[in-house]
Amino acid sequence: DSGVTQTPKHLITATGQRVTLRCSPRSGDLSVYWYQQSLDQGLQFLIQYYNGEERAKGNILERFSAQQFPDLHSELNLSSLELGDSALYFCASSPSGGEGETQYFGPGTRLLVL
Amino acid sequence: GQQLNQSPQSMFIQEGEDVSMNCTSSSIFNTWLWYKQDPGEGPVLLIALYKAGELTSNGRLTAQFGITRKDSFLNISASIPSDVGIYFCAGPRAGSYQLTFGKGTKLSVIP
């Protein structure tokens, strides 16, 4: 158990819909990262937050957005969902978000868009 | 952008055998991380390497940070069925906090 929690574990929805994925980092970690894992693309970095502020952006679509709240939990919002958005979405956390810092991953949310 | 190439993509081995997999990059990395992912779970950190030439062990696992800083390998000795999973190498892109992951090596262990 990494100490990072994610909800829900599974999510099934239809194209065009909007969903919110939630992540609670390890106790004491200030930085949160979101990743998308699909069969053909592997693990792709989406976005990083540190203490409520966006720190780095990766391959995140404009239809996706995220935020980190004062209690340090984070939410990833996916809108206008398409079939290709079906994937595993992981949240990770680290103490201060520095370069090369070890990231601890949650169990993931499996999203299926029908 | 920086790419991490892992090989082999998959391997089938007999229980008790040793395993070796590696990761290469066209760019220099300052940190190499090895993660294992079990089916339906998130990646779990196995070993972190921070210095060129560094050799680090974690039980039956040994990983090395290549001298050129463009490669790393992971060895598993005396494999057991619970070693089954996907092994990823990862490292931060130069000057960024972002981790780049290899595509993974899928390990199957035949009892």
Q: What is the mean pLDDT of residues A87-114?
A: 91
Q: What is the mean pLDDT of chain A?
A: 94
Q: What is the mean pLDDT of residues B39-54?
A: 91
Q: Tell whether B27 lies on the interface with A, counting CB pairs under 8 A.
A: no
Amino acid at A86: S
Looking at chain A, the whole-number percentage of residues with pLDDT higher than 70 is 98
Exposure on the CB side of residue B88, measured as CA atoms within 13 A: 20
pLDDT of A83 reads 96
pLDDT of B66 reads 95
Q: Which phi and psi angles does B58 have, rounded to 5°?
A: -140, 90
Express each pLDDT in B56-67 by its tens digit: 999 999 999 999
pLDDT of B2 reads 57
Q: Residue B53, SS3?
A: coil
The nearest CA of chain B is from the CA of A62 a distance in Å of 19
Q: Is the pLDDT of residue A100 over 80?
A: no
Looking at chain A, the whole-number percentage of residues with pLDDT higher than 90 is 82
Express each pLDDT in A49-94 by its tens digit: 999 999 999 989 999 999 999 999 999 999 999 999 999 999 999 9
Q: Residue A25, SS3?
A: coil
pLDDT of A90 reads 97
Q: Tell whether A68 lies on the interface with B, counting CB pairs under 8 A.
A: no
**Chain B contacts in chain A segment 89-108 (CB below 8 A):** 90, 92, 97-108
Q: What is the mean pLDDT of residues B83-101?
A: 85
Q: What is the mean pLDDT of residues A12-21?
A: 97
Q: Where are the beta strands (DSSP E) in A1-114?
A: 5-7, 10-13, 19-24, 31-38, 42-50, 53-57, 64-68, 74-78, 87-94, 104-105, 109-113
Residues from chain B that touch A45, judged by Cβ atoms under 8 A, are 98-100
Among chain B residues, the shortest Cα distance to A6 is held by B42
pLDDT of A11 reads 96
Q: Is the pLDDT of residue B27 over 90?
A: no
Q: What is the mean pLDDT of residues A20-47?
A: 92
Answer whether B98 sits within 8 Å of A58, measured CB to CB: yes
Q: How many CB pairs under 8 A join A and B?
A: 58
Quote the tokens at residue B103. Answer: 């595509």
| Cα distance between residue B77 and residue B58, in whole Å | 11
Q: Is the pLDDT of residue A31 over 70?
A: yes
- Closest CB to B97: pick one of A42, A99, A105: A99
